[in-house]
């Protein structure tokens, strides 16, 4: 039986037989293209995509021996990206031909259609309870076509031997110099040139003051290399950068590829190639996002730089170990953040987030001190406050009306003496001045951050950053294709019935592409109806109903809905106590009743301020400082334990016909067990809610800035530890600002 018949039997249909036959022809064409590409690279003096004069890379055998750390089996080429997938095969011993890591040999893996796989199973990359509609055979064919496209794009691949009956497979990607330089030129990536300049040293009194300031803050500087600390006084040499050009290679610093293209740039280039590579034979999908959404791949992420624990000397630390020791450690809580190292390792978007957190936290120091002074002033003057003295004087014998109609009795005003004095601690003569100061502080903070952001944009070459063209989301493509299929079916039926109409067809096509826009406006109008005890899933569900076209549109709409929902959910009780409670109770003898039976709630005799202070203290201290931080520590660890247990349980038994070759756990295995990165929106949202409490209700609770300061000092190091040790390495995203958050 030939390949076509096998594929026809596996796919069950004449249409799929045609696709499978095309795949066989495409494989030979792709192999010939790869051989031609290798010959061209050899003629250019680029053996295997490496610069001239570099060591020749050995050919990877089908059964490879894994290299140490984050390298290929040859121990020379670094792993720039990881693709993970879940595989399952029959218990018959079948050795899957591994992809070679050489782009020059042109070999492709055997088609998966030659194997008979088991029934489809629950994929790890899908949501719980959601099953993939693709069989294991179809997924394998889609993976092979996609990986062939990656080879054509110039990437080098390396994969493990699938020795188990089922498990997780890893595909390592490496971008060679030829591909790296080509993509850097196409994407206009700025790299440092050889020319540099020295910053002028301040002279006179200004120079002495600057030197004294740098000497005083030296103990608070992180212990990182001077090249990664632009704020250091000793680092006075500044390098220029220019968009990369292969024709002007002599102008750039080409001593080391790591200097010319750091790891974040390399992974970003690989991600761009993954985004534009298409599968046209086995499916109509473009980019890794579509394959992740359908369960063809489990996950895709760049690897960490080895372990975060140091085994050698201090001069042998990698970037991850530097971040762990000089940033993600409570022992260095008093030091500044190494923003340049954060930007180098995680990208500009995450670097800007931690820069904003640092500016916001430092700016909270003055209002925290003043708020504490206001509170201490209330403690010192509480016994001289006339209203408090009168309410606490038993001799005045003020008798008050009952607070309710049935079970309440008359009571003495002096019984609430403690509440009156506690209310005065927060609401005294200094509170008004403090509220005026906070109004000015809020405006000054925003302007100060804009200035700091412009400095970082200049230092990180973000001033001329252009908006990148984004690909449509997989969900958007799926709905669009479904509507096209429905439209074609309706057209055939109308032709059979004799009622086809070309103008109606064109109108339906235009309507299909634009009908989601009015729906988003309708959802915004109906949004307040959903704001009762809501959470993130509601915001995600509302956003998915609109089907935004790109990820940027999806994120913007999700942020808006999450902010509105969380704001209403968080601020509604506080606003009720501050502005509505006790306003409609009515005077004694003429109380207001709701529905004729329910008497409106009243404030305590000293007012609702003390109740508002208690509520704000529980939110600022209990929820943000304790609950959120504890959850950020515990939840990732529990998810990691569950994921590790789940993968061990899915690993299955070893094949009876062969023994699995034991190998040490590699870095990509450790990274896969970590929690996936879920974006910065939850982090920003938490701080925005906190900023609202600090600025809006500071007159009612002067200690709010102090509690916010304590929370942020812990939050920065907690987030640092989470990014460094608990989650997979995020994609390095270049972003010129932190909009739409600020």
Given a cut of 50, whether residue 538 has pLDDT beyond it is yes
The verdict on 292 and 394 lying in the same domain is: no
Asked if the structure places residue 322 within a domain, the reply is no
The verdict on 169 and 23 lying in the same domain is: yes
pLDDT digits (tens, 9 = 90+) for 173-199: 999 988 998 998 888 888 888 877 777
The verdict on 393 and 273 lying in the same domain is: no
Per-residue pLDDT at 269: 92
Given a cut of 60, whether residue 172 has pLDDT beyond it is yes
The verdict on 277 and 403 lying in the same domain is: no
Asked if the structure places residue 288 within a domain, the reply is yes
Does residue 103 sit in helix, strand or coil? coil
Q: Among 422, 444, 459, which residue terminates a domain?
A: 459
Per-residue pLDDT at 650: 57
The verdict on 125 and 20 lying in the same domain is: yes
Looking at per-residue pLDDT, the higher value among 727 and 33 belongs to 727
Picking from 131-145, 349-363, 436-450, 723-737, which range would have the lowest pLDDT averaged per residue? Answer: 131-145
Task: Give CA angle at 664 (662, 666), nearest 5°.
Answer: 130
Per-residue pLDDT at 281: 75
The verdict on 297 and 419 lying in the same domain is: no
| Residue 679 to residue 683: CA distance in whole angstroms | 8
- The CA–CA distances, whole Å, from 371 to 362, 434, 704, 705 equal 15, 7, 8, 7
pLDDT digits (tens, 9 = 90+) for 367-390: 999 999 999 999 999 888 888 888
| For range 274-287, the mean pLDDT | 79
Given a cut of 90, whether residue 5 has pLDDT beyond it is no
Per-residue pLDDT at 510: 42
Contacts of 686 (CB under 8 A, 6+ apart): 624, 628, 715
| For range 2-22, the mean pLDDT | 39
Mean pLDDT estimate for the chain: 73
| Residue 194 to residue 207: CA distance in whole angstroms | 29
| Residue 599 to residue 622: CA distance in whole angstroms | 32
Asked if the structure places residue 669 within a domain, the reply is no
Q: Which of 479, 469, 467, 482 is nearest to 548 (CA)?
A: 479
The verdict on 277 and 379 lying in the same domain is: no
- The CA–CA distances, whole Å, from 649 to 120, 129, 166, 664, 674 equal 17, 17, 11, 19, 17
Per-residue pLDDT at 438: 94
Asked if the structure places residue 453 within a domain, the reply is yes
Picking from 19-23, 68-72, 580-584, 686-690, which range would have the lowest pLDDT averaged per residue? Answer: 19-23
Asked if the structure places residue 710 within a domain, the reply is no
Asked if the structure places residue 719 within a domain, the reply is no
Per-residue pLDDT at 116: 32
For the ranges 156-160, 641-645, 664-668, the one whose mean pLDDT is highest = 156-160
Total domain count, the chain: 2
Per-residue pLDDT at 632: 75
The verdict on 276 and 170 lying in the same domain is: yes
Per-residue pLDDT at 719: 92
Per-residue pLDDT at 130: 46
Given a cut of 70, whether residue 418 has pLDDT beyond it is yes
- The CA–CA distances, whole Å, from 122 to 107, 129, 666 equal 31, 8, 25
Task: Give CA angle at 355 (349, 358), nearest 5°.
Answer: 145
Asked if the structure places residue 52 within a domain, the reply is yes
| Residue 292 to residue 534: CA distance in whole angstroms | 28
Domain range enclosing 29: 3-174+266-301
Q: Among 429, 459, 489, which residue terminates a domain?
A: 459
Contacts of 228 (CB under 8 A, 6+ apart): 322, 338, 340, 341, 344
Picking from 152-156, 507-511, 624-628, which range would have the lowest pLDDT averaged per residue? Answer: 507-511
| Residue 718 to residue 123: CA distance in whole angstroms | 31
Residue 142, number of CB atoms within 10 A of its CB? 22
Contacts of 300 (CB under 8 A, 6+ apart): 81, 82, 83, 84, 274, 288, 292
Per-residue pLDDT at 236: 67
The verdict on 278 and 379 lying in the same domain is: no
The verdict on 43 and 151 lying in the same domain is: yes
Asked if the structure places residue 405 within a domain, the reply is yes
Given a cut of 70, whether residue 46 has pLDDT beyond it is no
Beta bridge partners of 593: 599
Q: Which two tokens stand for residue 620?
A: 């600022």
| Residue 677 to residue 451: CA distance in whole angstroms | 29
Per-residue pLDDT at 476: 63
The torsion angles phi and psi of 610, rounded to 5 degrees, stand at: -65, -35
Given a cut of 90, whether residue 421 has pLDDT beyond it is no
Helix pair 551-575, 609-617: axis angle to 10 deg: 140
Looking at per-residue pLDDT, the higher value among 666 and 354 belongs to 354
Given a cut of 70, whether residue 522 has pLDDT beyond it is no
| Residue 516 to residue 230: CA distance in whole angstroms | 47
Picking from 24-28, 99-103, 277-281, 479-483, which range would have the lowest pLDDT averaged per residue? Answer: 99-103
Q: Which two tokens stand for residue 421?
A: 């004095």
Per-residue pLDDT at 631: 77
For the ranges 109-123, 426-440, 519-533, 631-645, the one whose mean pLDDT is highest = 426-440
SS (H, E, C) 447-514: HHHHHHHHHHHHHCCCCCCCCCCCCCCHHHHHHHHHHHHHHHHHHHHHHHHCCCCHHHHHHHHHHHHH
Flag whether the pTM goes above 0.85.
no
Q: Is 222 within 8 Å of 335 (Cβ atoms)?
A: yes
Q: Which of 20, 62, 16, 29 is nearest to 161 (CA)?
A: 62
Q: Among 459, 494, 509, which residue terminates a domain?
A: 459
Q: Is 388 within 8 Å of 424 (Cβ atoms)?
A: yes
Beta bridge partners of 278: 286
Q: Which of 308, 151, 326 is nearest to 667 (CA)?
A: 308
> How confident is residue 537, by pLDDT bands cut at 50, 70 and 90?
confident
The verdict on 286 and 369 lying in the same domain is: no
332-339 long-range contacts, Cβ below 8 Å, gap at least 24?
332/222, 333/713, 333/717, 334/220, 335/220, 335/221, 335/222, 336/217, 336/220, 336/221, 336/222, 336/231, 337/222, 337/716, 337/720, 338/222, 338/224, 338/228, 338/229, 339/456
- The CA–CA distances, whole Å, from 60 to 76, 177, 426, 638 equal 12, 19, 71, 38
Share of the chain above pLDDT 90, in %: 18
The verdict on 135 and 282 lying in the same domain is: yes
pLDDT digits (tens, 9 = 90+) for 230-270: 655 556 677 788 888 888 888 887 666 666 788 888 888 99
pLDDT digits (tens, 9 = 90+) for 74-93: 888 889 999 998 887 654 43
Given a cut of 90, whether residue 359 has pLDDT beyond it is yes
Looking at per-residue pLDDT, the higher value among 684 and 119 belongs to 684
């Amino acid at each position: 039986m030939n390949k076509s018949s096998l594929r026809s039997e596996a796919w069950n249909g004449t249409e799929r037989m045609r696709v499978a036959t095309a795949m066989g022809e495409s494989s030979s064409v792709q192999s010939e293209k790869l051989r031609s590409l290798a010959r061209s690279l050899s003629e250019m003096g680029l053996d295997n995509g490496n610069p001239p004069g570099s060591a020749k890379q050995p050919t990877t055998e089908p059964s490879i021996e894994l290299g140490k750390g984050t390298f290929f089996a040859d121990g020379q080429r670094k792993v720039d990206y990881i693709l993970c997938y879940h595989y399952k095969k029959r218990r018959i011993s079948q050795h899957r031909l591994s992809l070679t890591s050489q782009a020059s040999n042109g070999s492709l893996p055997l088609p998966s259609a030659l194997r008979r796989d088991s029934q489809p199973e629950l994929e790890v990359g899908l949501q719980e309870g959601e099953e993939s509609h693709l069989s294991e055979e179809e997924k394998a064919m889609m993976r092979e076509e996609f990986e062939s496209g990656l080879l054509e794009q110039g990437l080098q691949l390396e994969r493990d031997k699938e020795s188990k009956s089922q498990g997780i497979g890893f595909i390592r990607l490496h971008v060679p110099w030829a591909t790296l330089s080509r993509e850097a030129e196409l994407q206009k990536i700025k790299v440092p040139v050889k020319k540099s300049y020295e910053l002028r040293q301040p002279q006179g009194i200004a120079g002495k003051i600057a030197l004294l300031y740098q000497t005083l803050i030296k103990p608070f500087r992180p212990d990182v290399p001077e090249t990664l600390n632009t704020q250091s006084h000793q680092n006075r040499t500044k390098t220029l950068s220019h968009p990369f050009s292969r024709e002007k290679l002599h102008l750039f610093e080409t001593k080391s590829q790591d200097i010319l293209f750091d790891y974040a740039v390399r992974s970003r280039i690989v991600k761009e190639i993954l985004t534009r590579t298409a599968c046209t034979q086995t499916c109509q999908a473009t980019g890794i996002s579509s394959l992740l959404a359908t369960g063809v791949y489990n996950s895709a992420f760049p690897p960490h730089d080895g372990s975060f624990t140091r085994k050698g000397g201090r001069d042998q630390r990698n970037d991850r170990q530097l971040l762990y020791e000089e940033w993600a450690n409570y022992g260095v809580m008093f030091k500044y953040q190494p923003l340049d190292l954060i930007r180098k390792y995680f990208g500009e978007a995450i670097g800007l987030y931690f820069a904003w957190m640092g500016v916001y936290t430092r700016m909270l120091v003055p209002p925290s001190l003043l708020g504490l002074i206001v509170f201490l002033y209330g403690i010192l003057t509480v016994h001289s406050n006339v209203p408090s003295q009168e309410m606490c004087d038993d001799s005045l014998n003020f008798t008050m009306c009952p607070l309710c109609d049935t079970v309440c009795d008359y009571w003495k005003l002096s019984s609430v003496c403690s509440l009156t004095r506690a209310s005065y601690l927060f609401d005294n003569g200094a509170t008004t001045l403090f509220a005026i100061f906070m109004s000015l502080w809020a405006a000054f903070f925003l302007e100060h951050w804009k200035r700091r952001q412009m400095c970082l944009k200049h230092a990180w070459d973000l001033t001329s950053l252009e908006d990148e063209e984004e690909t449509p989301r997989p969900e958007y493509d799926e709905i669009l294709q479904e509507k096209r299929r429905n439209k074609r079916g309706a057209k055939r039926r109308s032709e059979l019935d004799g009622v086809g109409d070309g103008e109606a067809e064109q109108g339906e096509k235009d309507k299909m592409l634009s009908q989601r826009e009015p729906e988003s406006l309708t959802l915004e109008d109906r949004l307040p109806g959903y704001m009762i005890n809501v959470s993130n899933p509601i915001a995600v569900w509302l956003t998915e109903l609109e089907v935004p076209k790109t990820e940027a549109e999806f994120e913007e709409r999700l942020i808006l809905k999450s902010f509105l929902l969380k704001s209403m959910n968080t601020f509604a009780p506080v606003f009720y106590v501050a502005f509505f409670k006790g306003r409609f109770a009515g005077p004694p003898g003429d109380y207001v009743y709701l529905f004729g039976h329910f008497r409106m709630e009243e404030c305590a005799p000293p007012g609702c301020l003390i109740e508002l202070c208690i509520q704000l203290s529980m939110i600022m201290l209990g929820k943000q400082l304790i609950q959120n931080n504890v959850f950020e520590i515990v939840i990732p660890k529990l998810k990691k334990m569950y994921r590790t247990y789940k993968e061990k349980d899915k690993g299955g038994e070893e094949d009876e016909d062969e023994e699995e070759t034991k190998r040490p756990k590699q870095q990509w295995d450790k990274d896969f067990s970590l929690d996936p990165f879920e974006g910065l929106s939850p982090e920003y949202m938490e701080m925005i809610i906190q900023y609202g409490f600090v600025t809006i209700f500071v007159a009612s609770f002067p200690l709010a800035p102090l509690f916010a300061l304590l929370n942020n000092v812990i939050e920065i190091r907690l987030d640092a530890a989470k990014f460094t040790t608990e989650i997979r390495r995020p994609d390095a995203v270049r972003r010129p600002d932190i909009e739409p958050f600020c």
